[in-house]
Structure 1
Amino acid sequence: MTLVSDDGAYGGPTSVAAGQLEECAARGHDVTLVSLWRGRGPAPARFGSVPLRTRPARSLLPGRFTGLMHPLLVKDLWRSMGGADVVHVHAGRDLVTLTALAVAVLRRTRFVAQTHGMVQPRRSAAVRLFDRLYVPLLRRARACLVLTEQERGAVAGVVGAGGPPLVTLPNGVRPESAGAAEHRGREREVLFLARLHPRKRPEAFVEMAALAHRQVPDARFTLHGADEGVLPQVRRLIAEHGLEGVVSYGGALEHAEAVRAYTRAAVYVLPSVDEPFGMTVIEALAAGTPVVCTDSCGIAEELDRRGAAVVTNGSPRQLADAVCALLNDEGRRQALAAAGHRAVVEAFSVHAVTDRLETIYRRL
């Protein structure tokens, strides 16, 4: 994994990796997560219950994650892979992934790559130069795990004909927590919890809040997540709409704090466009929180079919209408939470995902 941090900056891939490893460990496998670390203090020995081997993240090249590396991580990867039956690379386009793939090839260790929607066709000169090293290594994977058919097409466009088998593997959460929190009596809070990145559209959340506040004046709207350049615009919009005290930014959260935030909220909103999967959507459903998302979220069609989320076109008006309807209808919120619980258990359980993952590993 490229990065583990105390602010969850790397997003869904980190929680997916930890969830998979925790479930594998529960089944008796010996697991280790190797990654860079960034935080206010020294790296923990474990990430959740997973043994963690890290080095401090250093920026060797431009880019938020692309250029992060530490020279001694090469030694850690070499030692870890030497005793491994299988290596699972959570693959972005970055120096850590490039190094991990190279070490796995040199070690002749069987490996799979899981791209999390991060490997897309790109035309820039820098990406083309990087891919001259990266793509031949990625093609050596025994399998490449993709979330959706859309991602399958994107990865195929990068690795080309004759690449590794592309195997669909959804993300999952623990069903024990799904729907565990009683929805009745929650605060009148609407939550955004994601990176403050243009694709996540936190500014659309603020525009939605301005519209919804007129209809539901006692509701409050909270954004959490690491800033990736959009926070100044978010704050400007809050001031322009006079929403101080109504909309607030609470910074990034560690995983345990994020779970509490989901549980406290009445509605979770993800205005993101072209979201490959939407791990925060599944985490919110697992906390028993009704979800409003957009039709370009990778799992929107499945959730809509199950009646497990309110799917919109992503406009602030449709988002606001959906949020107001839920805040004003306790029964609808309860029904949506129950459907979300069923969706997690039946389609997005980490147990079912790991069953498939073990089968993939054994085939190696």
Structure 2
Amino acid sequence: MRLVHVVTLVSEDGAYGGPTSVATGQLEECATRGHEVALLSLWRGRSRPPARIGSVPLRTRPARALLPGRFTGIMNPLLVRDMWRSMGRADVVHIHAGRDLVSLTALAVAAFRGKRFFTQTHGMVEPRHRLVARLFDRLYVPLLRRARGCLVLTERERRAVSQVVGPQGPPLLTLPNGVRPERNAVVEPRPHTPEVLFLARLHPRKRPDAFVEMAALVHRRRPDARFILHGANEGLLPTVRRLIAAHGLGGVVSYGGALSYSEALRAYAKAAVYVLPSVDEPFPMTVIEALSAGTPVVCTDTCGMADELARRGAAIVTDGSPQAMAEAVCEVLGDENKRQALVKEGRRAVEECFSIHAVADRLEEIYRNH
């Protein structure tokens, strides 16, 4: 099959997060199975965009801010022409759809072209009641309804999308995220000083401030530990720096900026623990990537995969308070048997539940039968 995926943004700093890595992971696996694949997107970065991401051909145009909003209003008119041409040859179009101009345009082009298209919302399409969102949805929702299917991660997302599209909407089809374990199993020497990692956007939902509060508590019991935050700043960097100074953690907690995908894999592999304090995170790719790298994970009970990970003993699931996360981190750092058990069960969970091979099997079945 000729497969064309559309995602809103590819960038040097990985600012768009999960949807971009999911799209490239799916296409890479489909390419290994003999499908002809392409990814269309906007590009943001100081350097020229790559021609490929791994084995996936990438067609991009520079992102331009046409309307307010970090992602909502970015677009480039030339991307419309690229979509029209690429979709014309496609057997299947797959749109990683948020509420933004790129997604709206991709939906419109696919519909006007009369193509078989699917949407995947990544937790980004939920009921909104602000006037701007309601006006946008007058165009957006009817196009969503024309999809052959909408791919959702969790039951929570299924309910949210169902409220948006209503009974006239397409079938809501469950598709998990996945990684390729053998590719992500980076061998990296663990530093002698244990390093606790935060790798996510510095956004209120990701709660980097809670990570710093947790670090202050762990530091009292494990003064040898060091803590590093990586990710694009989305407003909370000044708060993070104030908290570091207030707790006197200048030599203990640091901010290392955003990382490329390959740099992120190395960061997971070096870390003694990966902590994701996010709330209401539908299906965080960073957790799967950390597990695949053999890094113990501490997350919150509102993470979409928390129940499965807790049931398997593949991660330590907490209520998200700094105290509970600190207790979990100290347990991992102080108990080698616990650490080894988390590593073993985490990798097993990736192989059995979150493998890109199983995801692509499901995706091919969806493309052929819907």
Fold conserved between structures, TM > 0.5: yes
Partner residue of 1:67? 73
| 8 A Cα contact 1:179 1:337, kept in partner | no
Structure 1 position 175, deviation (Å): 2.3
Q: How does 1:255-274 map to 2 (within 5 A)?
A: 255-274=261-280
Q: Where do residues 60-139 of structure 1 align in structure 2 (5 Å cutoff)?
A: 60-139=66-145
Q: Are residue 335 (structure 1) and residue 341 (structure 2) matched?
A: yes
Aligned to 1:216: 222
Structure 1 letter corresponding to 2:290 = A
Q: Which SS does the other structure have where 2:50 is aligned?
A: coil
1:261 partner letter = A
Structure 2: how far apart are the matches of 1:336 and 1:77?
44
Instruction: State the shift of 1:178 in Å.
Output: 5.9
Letter in 1 for 2:38: T
Deviation of residue 162 (structure 1)?
2.0
Q: For 2:135 and 2:156, how far apart are their aligned partners in 1?
A: 25
Q: For the Cα contact (< 8 Å) 1:117–1:276, is it kept in 2? A: yes
- TM-score (normalizing by structure 2): 0.97
Pair 1:351 & 2:357 matched: yes
Are 1:187 and 1:264, in contact at CA under 8 Å, matched by a contact in 2?
Answer: no
CA apart distance, 1:225: 0.2
Distance 2:187 2:298 in 1: 18
1:182–1:305 Cα change, 3 Å: farther
Name stretches of at least 5 consecutive residues in structure 2 with no aligned partner.
1-6
Match of residue 196 from structure 1: 202
Q: CA deviation at 1:182?
A: 7.7
Cα distance between partner residues in 1 of 2:181 and 2:102 = 32
User: In the aligned structure 2, how far is the partner of 1:187 from the partner of 1:88?
Assistant: 44
| 2:48 alignment partner, one of 23, 42, 46 | 42
Give identity over the alignment, percent.
74
In structure 1, list runs of 5 or more residues that go unmatched. Answer: none
Any residues of structure 2 matched to 1:185-334 within 5 Å, and which? 187-334=193-340
Q: Per the alignment, in what secondary structure is the counterpart of residue 31 of structure 1?
A: strand
**How far apart, in 2, do the equivalents of 1:196 and 1:50 lie?**
29
User: Which aligned pairs between 1:157-176 and structure 2 lie closer than 5 A?
Assistant: 157-176=163-182
Q: Distance in 2 between matches of 1:338 and 1:139?
A: 42
Counterpart residue type for residue 223 of structure 2? P
What is the CA–CA distance in structure 1 between the aligned matches of 2:140 and 2:184, rounded to whole Å? 38
Contact 1:178 1:344 in 2 (8 A): no
Under a length normalisation based on structure 1, what TM-score does the superposition of the two structures give? 0.98
Instruction: Report the count of equivalent residues.
Output: 364
Q: Residue 110 and residue 192 in structure 1: after superposition, are their counterparts in 2 closer, same or farther (change >3 A)?
A: same
Cα-Cα RMSD: 1.2
Aligned partners of 2:303 and 2:208: how far apart in 1? 15
Structure 2 contact 211–322 (Cα < 8 Å) conserved: yes
**Aligned to 1:284, what secondary structure does the other structure show?**
helix
Preserved contact between residue 263 and residue 288 of structure 1 (Cα < 8 Å):
yes
State whether residues 193 and 224 of structure 2, in contact with CA within 8 Å, keep that contact through their aligned partners in structure 1.
no
Q: Distance in 1 between matches of 2:42 and 2:145?
A: 24
Shift of 1:176: 1.5
Paired with 1:178 and 1:83, the residues of 2 have a C-alpha distance of: 32
